[in-house]
Structure formats: C-alpha cells, structure tokens
Structure 1
C-alpha cells in the first residue's frame, strides 16, 4: 500500500510542477516554511525531512523557539518575513539569515548600525506596497528607487523585492508588477506567493515563496 505524501512532499511536488510549466528549474525557487505561531514540535518533522528554510513574523517568537532547534540543526536558514521595528533591528540581525521586510529609510539606518555592531551583513528584500495598502507596510512604488539608493549607499546587501498582494483580489497583476520592478532595478530576488497563490507567483518569477498553512495546517489556537 502506497504511503500518503507528507505536506512538505506535496508542496515540493507542486513547486516542481509549477516550475515545469514556467520552464524554470525547481532549484530556482526557495521554499520558506512559515512557522509563525507553530510550536517546535510542529517544526521538527520538517527538519527531519531535510527542510532548512523557515520564516517567522516576529523577532521575539523566533528568539523563544529557534536557538534550541538550531542546536540540533545548525544549518537552518531563518527568514524574517514580518514587519521589523527599528528598535529590534540588532536582535533581528543576530538571529535571522535573511530579512524580507526592509521598507523605510529609518530601518535602513537601524540595520546599517546593527550590521556594524554585530559584524553580520544579512541579505534584505525590500518590501514594496504593490497594492497601495499602507497598513501592511512596504515602500510605495514611487519611492522605491530612492529607498534602494539609500540602502545601497548604506551597504545593505539587497536580495531583491518582496510583496503582499491585497486579500481577495487576483494576485497575478501584483506579482507581475513586482517582477517588472525587480528587473528595472537590477535585482535578482522576488519574494512573493503564499499558500493560496504560490503556483501563480512561480509562473511570474518568484524566487522565494512563503508557505505556512499548506505545510503546517491552521495555526495553533494560542
């Protein structure tokens, strides 16, 4: 009797199929397993299966969970996918390997100071407000060139652009916009696509997809 696929195997297979349709190689897409609000017990099975890229929304939650997990799995790459407060920049730089939410000049300054203090230079995606929803964070499209110039001037390693399309609206035009902006500004990375739309994001150039529910199920009630 054939064993059922794990959620991780199912998502990996879906990524491979989407890449085939897009005439891309699966290794062009990094799957970031978004483990926010999920316990260490929920994360360990993915680690045992060999997955190593995980995303968290909040610095404090990651500080509580990941040091113990990393003691057993030191090759984990931790991605900060939630909004970052400037006063948490140093903590974030010490803990995370990639930051997906650089979105304003004050954070450029805070990160540059944190890099100098810690000796770490963490690659950053600049979050773009593609849906004109300021409550989500993100740099306005019209200010992107200025923010990128400031970040480059401060020595921030730029991994690419990131977006969160509006809820309940077809995401493809927003992914296409992010892809266009990344090309215009000479950036290789596109962090876009979540559990409900990562296949579409891959078709439109995503290099990092941030998948939570499809891997972990619904969040812990706590």
Structure 2
C-alpha cells in the first residue's frame, strides 16, 4: 500500500492542477482528511506528513480519539462533517473548530445556546440537500433563505454552504448550483467534493473538500 505521505502529496498535486485549470490558487482550497472510522494509528502518519485539517462524522467517535491526538499534535483543525443531533450541540461546540452540517431551525437554536454558553463562536456551513434526495440530510433549497436568516439572527457565524451531490451521476451541475447559491447569499465558503469528484469541485469553486478513502483506503 502506498505510504500516507505519498498519497497526501498526490492529492495536493491534483488539487493544485485543478485549481490551475480554474485559474485559482491551490491555497484557496482546504483539504479535510476524513478520518471517520479510522483509528489514531492511521491518522498520525498523515499528521506527520503535514496534514492538519481532519473531518469526523460523529461527536462520540471524535471525543474518543481526538483530545489525546491534539494534545500530542497541537494545531490540528477538526471539522464535523456528519449530521449533528441537537442534543450533542454542547459537545460539538466544545470539540470542533468548524461544523459543516447545520440544516434545520432546531439545530440553529441548540448551537446558538451552546455558543452563547461557552463564548466559542464555531464557524458553520449550512448543508443543502442539493439533489432533493429524501434519504439525505440538508435543508431544501427553498428553505435556505429562511434558515440562513435564522442563523444570522442567532449570531451563528455561517461561513458557507455544504453539499453531497447524488451518487452515480455527474456532480458538476450540483457543485455549480451550490456555488451560485453561496454567491447569491454572500457566503464565501463552499464545502463540496469528496474522493471521487474533488477535482471537479475545485474547478467549480470549492473552498473545502472532504477526502477520505483516497487518503486512508476503504473505511473500517
């Protein structure tokens, strides 16, 4: 199996190439290594190779491995990329540096309370159900203006939009739509693109890409 440093260098080179084609700078794109389901011993080699932004799906899993890792490796940026239950808002605000899955009014309320309590204003992305898929999280496109207004009224630092496009069809139109929605609402961040389509996402304006299997191999 290819070593983590080589895999990371390859992903970064592909990001840079896609950015060049789009006449963007590679440093406009944050690579989030999706470490969900992977143990600390699989994460440490990527940290050693220079990766500093990681993504987790579940609060409980992140609590089990990241406090110790961050103690040994300061400077790590931790992103929550999975669905967040409102009753886990306090823990999420305490642990994560960014939340990518704000998708409903009840979560706006829970996060606002948690942030007010701690004084820690964690940047958030609103997750949009870009393909209108019943099985996926995210707010409906039609509900985005009202949810964004609620989040802003609650003083949540919304920095962008996030999406997971439908599988097995061309992702570019969905990324282009998210890019347009973010621009229309004055948001700079676009969290979009994963292992199979991150280059397309970079060419469509992604500021954060979430890459798991291309860095870690198949999930455990």
Q: TM-score range by the shorter chain?
A: over 0.9
Look up the SS of the partner of 2:215 in the other structure: helix
Distance verdict in 2 for CA 1:196–1:50, change over 3 Å: same
Three-state SS of the structure 2 residue aligned to 1:54 is strand
Could you state the TM-score of these two structures normalised by the residue count of structure 2?
Answer: 0.97
Q: Which residue of 2 aligns with 1:131?
A: 131
CA deviations over 1:40-78 (Å, ceiling 9, x no partner): 000000111111100000000000010110011121000
Q: What is the 5 A alignment of 1:116-127?
A: 116-127=116-127
Deviations 1:65-94 (A, max 9, x none): 101100111210000000000000000000
Residue 138 of structure 1 deviates from its aligned partner by: 0.3
Residue 78 of structure 1 aligns to a residue in which SS?
strand
Task: Return structure 1 stretches of 4+ with deviation > 3 angstroms.
Answer: none
Name 2:21's counterpart in structure 1: 21
Q: How does the TM-score come out when normalised to structure 1? A: 0.96
Alignment deviations for residues 139-184 of structure 1 (CA, whole Å, 9 cap, x no partner) = 1000100000000000000110000001111111100100000010
Query: Where does residue 215 of structure 2 map in the other structure?
Result: 215
Rounded to whole Å, the distance in 1 between the matches of 2:73 and 2:4 is 26
The 5-angstrom pairing of residues 10-159 of structure 1 reads 10-159=10-159
Give unmatched runs, 5+ long, in structure 2. none
Q: Distance in 1 between matches of 2:136 and 2:85?
A: 13
Instruction: Name the structure 1 match of 2:163.
Output: 163
Relative distance call for 1:77 and 1:4 in structure 2 (3 A) is: closer
Q: Which moved more, 1:178-187 or 1:132-141?
A: 132-141
Alpha-carbon contact 2:5-2:49 (below 8 Å) kept = no
- Give the deviation of 1:186 after TM superposition: 0.3
Question: Secondary structure of 1:134's partner?
Answer: coil
Aligned residues: 218
Q: 2:57, 2:80 within 8 Å by CA — same for their partners in 1?
A: yes
Aligned-partner SS, 1:209: strand
1:154/1:5 Cα in 2 relative to 1: closer, same or farther (>3 Å)? closer
Corresponding residue SS for 2:138: coil
Aligned counterpart, 1:7 = 7
Once the two structures are TM-superposed, the CA of residue 16 in structure 1 deviates from its matched residue by 0.6
Residue segments in structure 1 that go unaligned for 5+ positions in a row? none
Distance 1:62 1:211 in 2: 17
**How far, CA to CA, are the matches of 1:39 and 1:100 in structure 2?**
22
1:21 and 1:151 mapped to 2: Cα distance?
35
| Cα-Cα RMSD | 1.2
